[in-house]
Structure formats: structure tokens, C-alpha cells
Amino acid sequence: MQAVETLHQPSGLQSRRNQDRFSKGIAYVVCTLVGLAYVFPLYWMVTTALKTDVEIFQVPPSLFPAAPQWQNFLASTQTIPFWLYMYNTLVICLLTIIGTVASCSLIAYGFARVRWPGRNVVFMIYLSTIMLPAQVTMIPLYIIFRQMGWVGTIWPLVVPAFFGNALFVFLLRQFFMTIPNELTDAARIDGANELGIFWRIMLPLLKPALATVALFTFVATYRDFLGPLIYLTDQDQWTISLGLKMFQNQYGAQWQLMMAAATLTMVPTVILFFLTQRTFIEGIALTGIKG
């Protein structure tokens, strides 16, 4: 990305500077108000999670819980098998990340660093699958997985990840192309084969990009609802999203418990976000801009 210079005001244009200050002021006010509106649902979720089952229905509602009911969090993890669902979710996430990172880095290398006839055409065809609606392939895939006896297991959710994801291949290919040829040419002269170059030279350089892919894969898998809804027929295998919805169907009126469970479900992504903010923001910008 190119460096962004700061906007220098031409001196002497006092009125323009005032005007800028004014528009900046408006920007502050609007951003802060909208920002508060963005935070509010999360605040309300946590507040409700800390109220008693009587207090949640109090009119008008209290902005703070009278006496924070921390045990609601514990209760919510017992009302649904929260930790089991969390474990199931994390297993699926982990396997999906491994599959995605491994396959996409290989595929991207093949598209970016190996020059072979027909490469660009094949890449365009592959890239076009991003636009394919999942609904078109959903039914035949279900039937195939059913014949394989995989319905009711996590494999239909995990195995496809080992065969690439066009969007991430695109992202990694962009990274591969920024690495200068001199580096690999030298290794080639030294007699290294492509796999060796990929493994020893490219992958270490690619770490930040792989982290981005892993992160986005985690978030997408963790949030997925449709996949588990189709394939995880057995309650013991439910992911947290699926379990949460079923929990809501059953205990719909116990908002304090549901808000507690929702809070706990959000915690992993929120922590992850704060630990890896830069990777997230830069990754988003990359997928967007270079599209």
C-alpha cells in the first residue's frame, strides 16, 4: 500500500480552515452518536445478562442491574451444554483452518509463482466460483455426503476446506506476487525444487498473509449456521451457533440466560479481534481494494 501523506492546508486560507474545522466537528458528533448506537446492543446484552428473571421484565427497564447476577453466566452454560458446543465448534474451526491454509497456500503458489500455459484462464475460471451461490451446490453435495454416510458428522463441514477456497487463494496469490523473483531464482540455481522453494522460502515470508487467512476462516466458520444446520443432525455434535438457536426456541422467555449465553459466544471473537486487530483491518482492506 502506498504511504498516505497528511493533508497540508494551504496557508492563508483562514476561512477554509474554519470550514474544515466545522466539518470535522460534525464528523465527530455523527461518528460518536452512531458509535454509541453501535455499542448499545452489546451493552444491553451484557446488562440484561446480569439481571434477575424479574428485573428483565421491569417497566421501565433499568439501565444497570440492581445487583449483578454473575451466576447467570454459569447458569447459561448449564442450561445448554455450552462447553460441549464450544468444543465442537472449535474442533471444526481448527480443522477448517488447517485445511484452508494448507490447500490455499499450495494453490496460490501454483497460480502465482509457477509459469504454466493456460494459467490465467484457469485462474479466472477458478475465481468465478466465488460468485456461485451455495444453494446451487447444496443439494447434490448433501446427497453425495449422505451416500458416504457423512450426514451427522463434521466431515461435510471440514473436508471441503482441504480443497481450497477461491477468495483466499486470490488473497494469497496477491501476496506471492509481491515477493521478488531474485529470491527464488537464486534457490533454483542452487538446485532447489519447487516444493522446496515453496516450503523453505515462500511459506516463512507468507506468514502474515496466512495469519489473515486463518483469522478470516476462523470467523467465518465460527459464525456459520447453515452448514451445521444441514449436517449436524445429532445434538451432541451441535456447534455453539446451532445450540444457541435451539436454546432460544426452548427457553425463549429467559432473556437473561440467553443474553449471558450470547455474551459468552461472542467472547472468543472479541478477544481474537483485540489480539489481532491489525491483521483483521489490513486483511479486510486488502480483500476489498484489490478486488
Partner 1 sequence: MATATSARPARWNKKEARALLTGLAFISPAIIGFLAFAAWPIYRSFYYSFTDFNILQPPYFVGMQNYVDLLKDRVYGIAVANTLYMVLIGLPVHLIFDFFMALLLATQLRGLSIYRTIFYLPSITPVVAAAIVWMWLFNGQYGILNEILGRFGIPHVGWLTDPRFTKPSLIFMGMWFGGNTIIIYLAGLRDVPVSLLEAAELDGANALSKTWHVTLPMISPVIFYTLIINVIGYFQYFTEAWVLTATRDGAVGGPLNSMLFYAMYLYQTAFQQLNMGYASAQAWILFAIVLVASGVLFRSSGWVYYRSEE
Nearer Cβ to partner 1 (180/252): 252
Evaluate whether 138 touches 146 at the Cβ level (below 8 Å): no
Site for partner 1, residues 140 to 159, rule: CB under 8 A? 140-144, 146
Query: What track of x and - describes contact with partner 1 for positions 227 through 256 (by CB under 8 A)?
Result: --xx---------xxx-xx--xxx----x-
Stretch that binds partner 1, among 20-28, 65-73, 75-83, 181-189 (CB under 8 A): 20-28
| Shortest distance, position 75 Cβ to partner 1, whole Å | 16
Q: Does 103 bind partner 1 (CB under 8 A)?
A: yes
CA separation, residue 190 to residues 185, 199, 206 (Å): 9, 15, 22
d(CA 183, CA 202): 9
Q: Does 117 bind partner 1 (CB under 8 A)?
A: yes
Sole binder of partner 1 in the list 157, 164, 238, 279 (CB under 8 A): 164
94 φ/ψ angles, rounded to the nearest 5 degrees: -60, -50
d(CA 63, CA 77): 25
Sole binder of partner 1 in the list 120, 134, 178, 207 (CB under 8 A): 134
Sole binder of partner 1 in the list 111, 168, 175, 238 (CB under 8 A): 111
d(CA 82, CA 116): 50
Nearer Cβ to partner 1 (70/225): 225
Q: Does 176 bind partner 1 (CB under 8 A)?
A: no
Half-sphere exposure of 277 (CA within 13 A, CB side): 1
| Shortest distance, position 116 Cβ to partner 1, whole Å | 3
Q: Does 212 bind partner 1 (CB under 8 A)?
A: no
The grid coordinates listed for 272 are 481474537
User: CB burial class (10 A; 0-12, 13-18, 19+) of residue 133?
Assistant: exposed
Q: Does 33 bind partner 1 (CB under 8 A)?
A: no
Smallest CA-to-CA distance from 238 within 68, 84, 57, 115 is with 84
| Shortest distance, position 17 Cβ to partner 1, whole Å | 12
Half-sphere exposure of 71 (CA within 13 A, CB side): 3
Classify residue 129 by its DSSP letter.
G
Q: Does 208 bind partner 1 (CB under 8 A)?
A: no
Site for partner 1, residues 62 to 101, rule: CB under 8 A? none
For 40, residues 6+ apart whose C-beta sits below 8 A from its C-beta are: none
Classify residue 68 by its DSSP letter.
-
User: What amino acid is encoded at 22 in this protein?
Assistant: F
Stretch that binds partner 1, among 79-87, 179-187, 200-208, 268-276 (CB under 8 A): 268-276
Q: Does 135 bind partner 1 (CB under 8 A)?
A: yes
| Shortest distance, position 81 Cβ to partner 1, whole Å | 16
Q: Does 139 bind partner 1 (CB under 8 A)?
A: yes
